[in-house]
Amino acid sequence: MWENRIFKLFIFWYVCGIILLGFDILPSWLEWANAFFLILAGTLGFLYFIKRFGVVGGSVLGVFVFFSTFIVEWAGSDSGFLFGSYDYTDRFAPNVFGVPIAIGFAWLMVMATTHVVARWIVPSGGLVYAIVGGIGAVIIDLIIDPVAYQIKQYWIWADTGLYYDIPWTNFFGWFVVAFVLHLIIDLMMKKRKMIITSNLAEKRMVLLYVLMIAMFVMLGAIGGLTLAAILTTCLTVAIVLLAWKRKPV
């Protein structure tokens, strides 16, 4: 029941965001809506984990994903660990220890959605499943990071790189974090019996994956990030079509 309500709220918020951001009419006093949008998406990911692994297992996994990624992001912004040297601004507040709370929720969304995509492609799990999950996460970041940095300035990179002045270590870091977390999820799947009785929850996660990328692609295209928009769109279509083709009946 709560999952359906939150999903409907997310869709409503998504449509409002498309209109306000697409026409650049988001008032300054409503900037908090961007963080709330990611919090809603992350909550949907958390609820998926509960449905997938049960209340206890799913909650433990969700909390672990949230805090482990938050700590890694804090270490990255504080010392340049893994991702490269960058700093969060106050445009994505509220922040804790210099890191926006919404970042932990964003990683919940990333892990839940890429888990389903990767699991559809590699039903047997294992190392290949984790690699595909890591690639799925990097595809999201190929558009999120340029938009958040170049257009929204949610964070500022001190290091630089060829891809919109973003260092390659950032995408490597995304892959490593997602890869390791997918290995942990795969281990849980081997130890716990699947609880989901229908594939509606999984289809919603794939839809969430597409919708999140689509919004940032729109923002990137409007903001002149043509390469990022085209590249991410092509890779997203490829991985989602492959997942849909191989999904369990």
Q: Which residues of 50-74 are buried (b: 16+ CB within 10 A; e: fewer)?
A: bbbbbeebbeebbeebbebbbebbb
Q: Which helix (H) or strand (E) holds 115?
A: helix 101-121
Instruction: Give the pLDDT confidence score for residue 199 in this predicted structure.
Output: 83
Which amino acid type is present at position 155?
W
- pLDDT, averaged across the chain: 90
Across residues 13-27, what is the average pLDDT?
A: 85
Give the Cβ contact number of residue 160 at 10 Å: 12
pLDDT at 249 > cutoff 80: no
Instruction: Render pLDDT for 143-172 as a digit per residue (tens, 0 to 9).
Output: 999 999 999 888 888 888 899 999 999 999
More reliable by pLDDT, 158 or 93: 158
Instruction: Give the pLDDT confidence score for residue 84 in this predicted structure.
Output: 81
Cα gap 168→162, rounded to integer Å? 8
Q: Which long-range contacts (CB under 8 A, 24 or more apart) does 142-145 make?
A: 142/171, 142/228, 142/231, 142/232, 142/235, 143/213, 143/216, 143/217, 143/220, 143/225, 143/228, 143/229, 143/232, 144/216, 145/170, 145/171
Across residues 33-42, what is the average pLDDT?
A: 90
pLDDT at 133 > cutoff 70: yes
Name the pLDDT band for 61 (thresholds 50, 70, 90): very high
**% of the chain residues with pLDDT over 90:** 64
Instruction: Render pLDDT for 169-218 as a digit per residue (tens, 0 to 9).
Output: 999 999 999 999 999 999 988 876 555 556 889 999 999 999 999 999 99
pLDDT at 34 > cutoff 60: yes
Poorest-pLDDT segment among 20-34, 38-52, 93-107, 211-225: 20-34
Name the pLDDT band for 97 (thresholds 50, 70, 90): confident
Q: Both tokens of residue 224?
A: 């002149």
Instruction: Give the pLDDT confidence score for residue 193 in this predicted structure.
Output: 59
Chain-centroid distance of CA 64 in Å reads: 15
Helix, strand or coil for residue 90? helix
Helix, strand or coil for residue 156? strand
Please, which residues bridge with residue 87 across strands?
156
